[in-house]
Amino acid sequence: MKKSLILLCCTIFFQSCAAQPKTHLIEASVETVTKEKLDYYLYFPQDYASSPKKKYAILLFLHGGGESGDTLGALKKNGPPKLIVQGKQFPFLILAPQNPHQKKWWNTRAVNQLLDSVVANNRVDKQRIYLTGLSRGGGAAWEMAVQYPEKFAALAVVCGMAPLPYAAWIDKDMPIWVFHGEEDRSIPISESEKMVERLNVMGHDVQFTRYPGVGHDSWVKAYATEELYEWFEEQKRNN
């Protein structure tokens, strides 16, 4: 009797094991929605209102970490917004959003949605969308060039972090201009040096401006370079 009971229990056990699935992987899916509130400045050229049939280029400017999570007015400290406040006029629109997170990376997908909205609701030439950023915003600019390789007509990065694998994903038809201070202690110039070297090897059209004796604030010199804006104006996508 005892032997028969043991045999019955073993039979039930093995039947139970056989009924279990052969894998613990379960197929499923979920649709996610990410929301981001982006405050921004939008600059219009002086003749925009008086030229209703004209389409304009647009420059997307991504600021550095120091202007993140503050009042929108903090964007006027550096880059094109600072120059506009000082009275400089540009021939194209300038979109300058603010990263609302002081210690977080840019939400580049949200920035792209904002850019698309501005382009759709204003007289923007879609073949002349330019991209630039400094420091943390420079790193985000590299990222956006990878994520949206057919969107931008030109890219200018100032002292930004530059992951080398990005080089393989960047459109070879997009001209690039990189700026960096040789004495940068926050983001070493080697970040830009290695990226520029990799891009050159891959046949990209890339310029590299080094600033001897300059630290992390190389954006002061870079955005004061009038040739930069003339260079932007010369660029246009063919697709």
Query: Is residue 134 classed as helix, strand or coil in its secondary structure?
Result: strand
- For 225, phi and psi rounded to 5 degrees? -80, 105
The encoded tokens of residue 204 equal 């990209």
Neighbours of 66 (CB within 10 A): 15
Residue percentage of the chain with pLDDT more than 90? 83
Which of residues 17 and 207 earns the better pLDDT score?
Answer: 207
Q: Tell me, what's the pLDDT at 2?
A: 44
What span, in angstroms and rounded, lies between the C-alpha atoms of 62 and 99? 8
**Any domain includes 19:** no
* Mean per-residue pLDDT of the chain: 91
Give yes or no for residue 34 having a pLDDT over 80.
no
**Any domain includes 169:** yes
Structural domains counted in the chain: 1
The residue whose two tokens read 């990209």 is: 204
Burial of residue 201 (number of CB atoms within 10 Å: 0-12, 13-18, 19+)? exposed
**Any domain includes 9:** no
Q: Tell me, what's the pLDDT at 103?
A: 85
Among 151, 76, 141, smallest CA distance to 106 is for: 141
Facing residues of 131 across strands? Answer: 60, 155
Angle between helix 136-147 and helix 108-120 axes, rounded to 10 deg: 70
Give yes or no for residue 149 having a pLDDT over 60.
yes
* CB-CB contact of 37 with 98 (8 Å): no
**Any domain includes 168:** yes
Q: Tell me, what's the pLDDT at 33?
A: 77
Facing residues of 69 across strands? Answer: none
**Any domain includes 10:** no
Give yes or no for residue 20 having a pLDDT over 80.
no
Q: 64 pLDDT band (50/70/90 cuts)? A: very high
Burial of residue 167 (number of CB atoms within 10 Å: 0-12, 13-18, 19+)? buried
Q: What is the mean pLDDT of residues 111-121?
A: 98
Give yes or no for residue 195 having a pLDDT over 80.
yes
Give the CATH number of the domain where residue 198 resides. 3.40.50.1820
- Owning domain of residue 179: 27-234
Q: Tell me, what's the pLDDT at 207?
A: 98
The 10s digit of each residue's pLDDT in 206-221 is 999 999 999 999 999 9
What span, in angstroms and rounded, lies between the C-alpha atoms of 121 and 133? 23
Among 147, 155, 192, 161, smallest CA distance to 177 is for: 155
**Any domain includes 7:** no
Q: 3 pLDDT band (50/70/90 cuts)? A: very low
**Any domain includes 18:** no
Whole-angstrom CA distances from 50 to 55, 85, 124, 215 are 12, 22, 15, 42
Query: Is residue 44 classed as helix, strand or coil in its secondary structure?
Result: coil
Q: Tell me, what's the pLDDT at 9?
A: 43
Q: Tell me, what's the pLDDT at 32?
A: 81
Q: Tell me, what's the pLDDT at 117?
A: 97
Q: 19 pLDDT band (50/70/90 cuts)? A: low
**Any domain includes 14:** no
